[in-house]
Amino acid sequence: MNRLLEAARQGRHGVRDYLMMLMAYRHGLRVSELIDIRLKDLDLETARLYVRRKKGSLSTHQPVEGDELRAIRAWLREREQHSNARSTYLFLSERGPMTRQAVNYLVNQIGQRAKLRFHVHPHMLRHSTGYYLANRGYDTRLVQDYLGHKNIAHTVRYTRTAAIRFEGLWR
């Protein structure tokens, strides 16, 4: 993930691209959820993000950590100079709000720039979030809530491979 984030910084729109990758990963966002973030969804005073989940999932407020908060502020400063700055959407391109196609293309380009040997697509970031949380030993219900899964069967895939959950069982 660090290679992807570093590669995102190196592009023409590095501040925006880095933040998009970071938020998609940190919050386990689907592309549609990422591009639907509005300025009103950010509360910089309380360091919270309202995640408007799609596909019948459960929306929630999630914390924003210090490095992410700094990245948001950096993008908001840069965004003020943008030709579409009056838009209510957080992430903008030259033509308006970011589209699914633009994000798919961008994430693939960042993956190539990071010299990854496989095709990178945005949903990989969401899966990475699930696996990260499961491997850290977080409860399956917490992972379910964090990712906004309505059905826990969608969450179980992440815990199935997390061998760490067995450590210390007999101590």
Residue 150 catalytic?
no
Return left, alpha or beta for 148; rule: phi > 0 is left, psi -120 to 50 is alpha, else beta. Answer: left
Catalytic residue among 18, 25, 146, 158: 158
- Sign (positive or negative) of CA dihedral 155, 32, 73, 25: positive
The catalytically annotated residue of 30, 53, 79, 113 is 30
Tokens of 149: 């899964």
Of these residues, 13, 123, 127, 154, which one is catalytic?
123
Q: Which of 79, 113, 126, 146 is catalytic?
A: 126
- Is 26 an active-site residue? no
Contacts of 15 (CB under 8 A, 6+ apart): 9, 71, 74, 75, 78
Question: Which member of 3, 55, 100, 119 is catalytic?
Answer: 55
Q: Does 30 participate in catalysis according to the annotation?
A: yes
Q: Given 16, 53, 113, 149, which residue is catalytic? A: 149
Catalytic positions, written as ranges? 30, 55, 123, 126, 149, 158
